[in-house]
Each structure stands twice: as C-alpha cells, then as structure tokens.
C-alpha cells in the first residue's frame, strides 16, 4: 500500500519546484512509513519516476529529517552506483554531502557512529565515478566536497582528488573551476596541518 501511495503522489508532483517538493515531502513527513518506499522508488533506476522520488528524498534530507536516513544507510550507499538519470544523481550527491558534513560535524550526532566504513567507501567509490564521467556542475561540486571530507581519514583520497581536479575538473566550467580551486586550497591546508 505505501509504495503505491508514494508512487501516486510522485506521479502528481509536476516539476521540481519548491512548493511541489514540499507538498509531497509533507505527506512523507506526516507518515514516516512512507520514507522507505520513497527511498526504494529513488533507486528504481530505469523508471523516470525515480527522479521525482530523488527530488523529494533530497528535500526531506536537506530541510527536515536527514536522521531518517540512518536505518537505510546500507541500502542508500550500496545503490548509489546504480543511478543513471542525471536528475536523480544530483539530489543523491547532495545527500552524500549532507552525510559527510554530519559525520564531520563538531556537534555530536548519530551519524558519527552509524555511518560505517563500508558506507563511506561506497560513497567514495561512487563519487570518483561521478567525477570521471560527464556530470552536471552541481554533482561535481557536491562530490568534491564530500570526497574532501571523507579524505580526511582515507589517506589515498586527497591525492586522487587533487589529481582529478588539476588534470580534468579545473579545465571544465567556471563553476567547477572555482569549486575545484577551493577544494585544492582545503587539501593544501590539511596537508600543512599534518606536518
């Protein structure tokens, strides 16, 4: 019943406008049991409706309840690599950035204990795939930040990220060039702080 309910709501979503995403998000927020079906629809990667599910999922995680993702971290991170639609990758890349920010937050939270190494490795591997394949600027921006953060504890990530930025990303659009330079500066500061 719940997957049918969320599918019906998504079909009536319309465009990605803020009001539309909030309207469907409200339905999920009022019925927490709809969160898991929303996540499942997000990863029905051959179905165009998965894009609308990803929009709403990201809206909930960004503006309301990132913590609802905790019981679903394994499902989410294992399925990231299967995403095919650009419009679904962007919101999921943003969720990955939120997860990294929560994990490295100065404030204590559940993500510090619940986001396991295997989840982080899945995000890192998928993130590098997103950086070496043609993706939108937003995906690159979110992913560079995510990889920078997870690279704080994974020694091999920063050198690989730095190489990709210097040889590929910095030569793309103005937006990716600016974010790439910012990330390179952060990597350099981090390296100096460890000397």
What does the pLDDT look like over 98-140, one tens digit per residue?
999 999 999 999 999 999 999 999 999 999 999 999 999 999 9
Q: Which of 131, 128, 130 lies closest to 88, judged by CA? A: 130
Q: From 94, 15, 100, select the one nearest 58 (Cα to Cα).
A: 94
pLDDT tens for 53-70 read 999 999 999 999 999 999
* Helix 137-150 / helix 117-132 crossing angle, nearest 10 deg: 140
In this prediction, what percent of the chain has a pLDDT beyond 90?
77
pLDDT, tens only, 147-178: 999 999 999 999 999 999 999 998 888 888 89
Q: Which of 17, 26, 90 is nearest to 58 (CA)?
A: 90
């Amino acid at each position: 019943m719940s997957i049918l309910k969320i599918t019906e709501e998504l079909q009536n979503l319309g465009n990605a406008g803020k009001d539309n995403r909030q309207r469907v998000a409200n339905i999920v927020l009022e019925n927490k049991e709809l969160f898991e079906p929303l996540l499942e629809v997000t990863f029905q990667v051959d179905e165009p409706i998965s894009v609308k599910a990803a929009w709403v999922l990201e809206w909930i995680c960004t503006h309301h309840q990132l913590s609802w993702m905790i019981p679903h971290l394994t499902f989410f991170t294992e399925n990231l690599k299967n995403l095919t639609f650009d419009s679904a990758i962007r919101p999921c890349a943003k969720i990955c950035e939120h997860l990294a920010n929560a994990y490295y937050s100065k404030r204590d939270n559940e993500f510090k204990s619940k986001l396991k190494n295997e989840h982080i490795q899945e995000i890192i591997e998928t993130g590098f795939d997103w950086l070496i394949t043609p993706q939108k600027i937003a995906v690159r921006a979110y992913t560079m930040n995510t990889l920078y953060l997870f690279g704080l504890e994974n020694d091999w990530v920063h050198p690989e990220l730095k190489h990709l930025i210097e040889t590929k990303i910095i030569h793309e659009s103005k937006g990716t060039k600016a974010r790439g330079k910012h990330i390179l500066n952060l990597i350099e500061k981090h390296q100096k702080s460890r000397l």
